[in-house]
Structure 1
Amino acid sequence: MDVWEKCRSWTASQLQETGQDCYYQVISDTFDGTEVTFADRRIVMAASHDYLGLSADQRVREAAMAAVRRFGTSLGGSRAISGSLRLHEQLEEQLAQFLGQESAAVLPSGYQANLMLAPLLDKDDYVFSDLSNHASLDEVIRLGEAKERKFLHSNMKHLEELLTTTRAGAGKTILSDGIFSVEGDICDLPALTQLAGRHSAYVVLDSSHDLGVLGPKGAGAAEHYGVQPLLITSALSKSLASVGGVIAGPAEVIRYLRFHARTSLFTAAASPANVAAALAALEILQTEPERRQRVLNLAERLHNGLRALGYDTGASTTPVVPVLVRGRERCLRMWRKLCEAGVFTAPMTYPGVRAGREVLRVTLTAAHTDTQLERLLNAFEAVGLAEGVLPEAGPPREYAPVRITRPTMATSTARGEEP
């Protein structure tokens, strides 16, 4: 059989029939990180994870441009050979300190940061992974040699059963997202840590979506709970307004991985512009807590505005807002109609979610305005009525309000009104 036949059958008409032509759509311009030009129209961008609204911040832009002027656009080599700058080390040192870890390594992407875990997963070991973990954590399990045990999403009883029935003396690693990227709920890190302690296991936490959002200083789920896992990984493309990834933990572990993880040894170093942008964003994250308060305020109003209309936003209490629509065709059709109504969202269908649990994922940033939030809610109301997702009789008389998960902050200037 021709190995390329499957490619020839993957035609534009098939993409249209399956609705997958909704993906890889081109945005021609952006405006302050809150609006974009799409299909020749300027619409609200509500599918970005730039939670603190720093990607368009002039200080971050200037830091990136200064790095390009000094070092160029690429270093032309891996960190192990010719690609290490003092700039990389500065970011690693500051991220390690911020995350409460001894050491850190910066990678060109968040996906690669998780793949860096593979050398830790030996053939006699076991790895336990939440069913809703990000695809990159699934991929590192495939790359490693450890035996996989999946536990039901956030189900500590099921995890304990799996740990209890695993061979005594075997190495055990538990993998979990901090904030789950589709459901928007937060892992029970204290329970994970307690189970790990009882069963001689280690916890690795992917904090891509909680770094900058959770914790008194914005350091993520570990700081939020006051519990420190063995390792923390994170993308730099969310709250740190860049592209890249980080893995932080004990110095001896990070040192070992630098020399044994192929994803680190055999990839070009993160670009100077991306490293400098992340450094600038990290400083702003720590000195301007009002940005975190702003995005949390907007998220709470978004959750409750959607629920007041009759939508279900699931178990999320974070800025990741999943709007349940059920049905692949309906989900993709609503995505198109929302674009026409002036709002760009993220359609999540199988295999990103289970069939029957399709959602439109909505995320706002600290840079979005109250007016843009109202435009979004008005669009969801109009499209939901047209699609029969919302009742014709009108919104529900009562709904269960969402109380967003917030850090305890002694001082904050945030009030949540229009910037």
Structure 2
Amino acid sequence: MTDLSELRQGAFAPGHSADIADALVANSGLRIDIDRRRGRGAGLNTTGRFEPLARETEDDGWSSLEDLPPFKTEVQIEKPRSIISRNDSPDIPFDRSVNPYRGCEHGCIYCFARPTHAYMGLSPGLDFEAKLFAKPDAPRLLERELAKPGYKVRPIALGTNTDPYQPIEKEWRIMRQILEVLQACNHPVMIVTKSAMVMRDIDILADMAEKGLAKVGLSVTTLDRKLARLMEPRASTPGKRLEAIKALSEAGIPTTVMMAPVIPALNDHEIERVLDSGKAAGAEFASYVLLRLPLEVSPLFRDWLLRNYPDRYRHVMSLVRSMRGGRDYDAEFGKRMKGAGPYAWQIGRRFELAAKRLELNLTKRPLNGDLFVPPLGLGVQLSLL
């Protein structure tokens, strides 16, 4: 066991030394054997930052590690007391969101939500992909919260922390039930996903979109199937995501092609191609987000980069740090999504020119909150009048 103060000073502190942090992720002794993590994004399962001690796997000389089972997806039920999360962040276009799941089986190595697993006493690494939490009470809780006196209608965002259409949604169908609640009371909704499973709910979304109540953003990080499989191992392929954009747009649902994240020297050369493909599939809007490496995401991403693209490691991280004030990440509002400096400006300008050429983002589609009718149903107290 290791005192976590050393790890915090190296990998997590905002002004950490690049040499110390790079040495940390380069230590192959921290990595989980490939046979145990096959089909997963992360190569590490380091202890969360709130734990007093860090535990590492060590072979005792008797081949004890050979008997360890592979990481299998486990789902626990979480029973929150409320389901709508609120924020006042000035650089995101919503003030409330709902997350039917905690953790995400897609395993995207760059996922900025990974550090939230530390709040559960679990690792933001492989635990984030394999130890998931489902909230089956979410539809009932949502119905109850929407029915509260004085509730003010604003769009609810789905998929802002972890993807609501990850593989376990096929069995749990919590996202489908949430949409049914929103449809029944005409509540506006915006969805972000990288899963073609969103096409399953086109019947609900098309009905809502006709009333100006729904729009969907599909994240298309790359068109390279090999890179996508390495970077987002259990997410839909790029082709499937473009297929989803086409199906949604043909159903009259306003759709955005999102290049998120843009990773310098890895996928930034694809900005124009991704927008071209999104437009051809029917997207009306486009957006991008620069790679974000908060807290434990930084060593996880750097370990992944060393394993898969060792020849680009120093170049990628040098460019990342040039856009983040010399650090792996700058969480300042207004900078965290787009970065700063010449290279960040170049990425932004290329995106703007491509979007203009393709006539994306020409209009705005504000969602309609005037049709909202408070729900009356399970878990809602009826009026005495």
TM-score by length of 2: 0.30
TM-score by length of 1: 0.28
